Structure 1
Amino acid sequence: MAEYRIDDLARAAGTTVRNVRVYQDRELLPPPRRQGRTAIYSDAHLVRLRLIINMLERGYAFAQIKEMITAWESGRSLGEVLGLEEAVGASWAEEAPRPVTVAELRKKFGKQFSPANIKRSIELGLLERRGRGFVAPSPQLLDAGAELVALGVPLSAVLDLAEQLQADIDHVAGALVEVVREHVLIRPVPGEDDVPYYSEVLQRLRPLVMSALNAAAARSAERVIPEVLGDRLVELLERTHRPDQVS
């Protein structure tokens, strides 16, 4: 389970530290765990925060949100509520974020590690600032980008690709999850078992989505790579084996 300081929590939810404190003062957001003088928030807090933001965008007032959340929680144990919220907000990544120094990034990307590319990498969520260095939320994406640059692809083009790739994956993953929402989450749940039921659905959905995306990406690569590179390889072969022209 991920842990967040208040600024990390606000950034992950797309809001401000001030708003987080306001929601907490209004008793919409549960208090954080204290570690010395530091407030530590969990995935459950992130899910609750996103829920609050969603309801505010739909036009609900603070009092209405608090009333609805309280009514939903009534009759359920704290463990059930937190269990569902943590299941919703748990990270799907199979890799841990990795600290990276400025020196490491300059070694990977050379002169292309410019202020403009740094800014864009942060905006895309590929890097996060941590003191004098950075954290790569997905080291695999960072390494893939470095390998493309090593092959000769400009870093600006790699960042364009990362943005497009994320949008495409969001669309595909969203379509898969929408099928589950449409055919599974609207199904009537017998008795008072709705919280355990949805927790189980989420636990089963995570590996299903990852497996489907990985398998689809592998099959797509098998088709696309030969199609894209085939003509170029044929051209190279023809050039290599072309008989000398007789003058």
Structure 2
Amino acid sequence: MVQSDVEQPSMLRIDELAQQVGMPSRTIRFYNTQGLLPPPVMKGRTAYYTQEHFVVLGIIRELKEHQNLSLEAIKRLLEVRDQQGDVQMHMALKQRHLKSLTVGGTQVHLAQEELARQGEVTVARINELVELGLLFPFEGEQDEQLFTGDDVLLLQLYRHLEELGLPLALPSLIRFQLKQLTRSEVAAYEQHLLPRWREEGLALEQQTERFEEVMALSDTLISLLHRKLLYQG
């Protein structure tokens, strides 16, 4: 005998969904009113929720609690996901993080002392990380070492890894392996992309936009493959 939609585990009432996701029913109702969730499936006067609602609630929790995004920002990312898929949503999220490291679209430049203050570390620690190739200074107009917002983020990542008990040897190894990978990436770009862009007559600005899009895709690919390979053991 074929079960009805209501009898299938994938069709849940709001209290059942709330129990599965570990979230109050009133919160789910609030997300509904804010347009963050797809409309529920109505069977008479009863609303039922599907696996898609379960997935979206998980995304909302991740973006809100771990990425510290506002509900408005989450709504925009979910709209991207709905229209273009998960990959484009992850790309949009990555681009958002990159923009957060700039002011008015301009990369922030930090002197060594300011980096130490923002990263809550000593200047000696910064020098150590520079020697290990784990921070990326460049020379300013007065031959002083300057850093960017990326270096602030790197300091935070290194600190969190060490707090979890992992040594700096791990980031150093990752850096070494990524250095080899980027050489292959650059060769692939030069062989396959640049000739095509030139044939299309793309201006330099357009080529830069295409390159950033490819970078975002590559970063997402690396992140997903890394996770899959790590859990495979």
Which TM bucket (shorter chain)?
A: 0.3 to 0.5
Identify the structure with bigger relative contact order (alpha carbons < 8 Å, sequence gap 6+): 1
Q: What TM-score do the two structures reach when normalised by structure 2?
A: 0.39
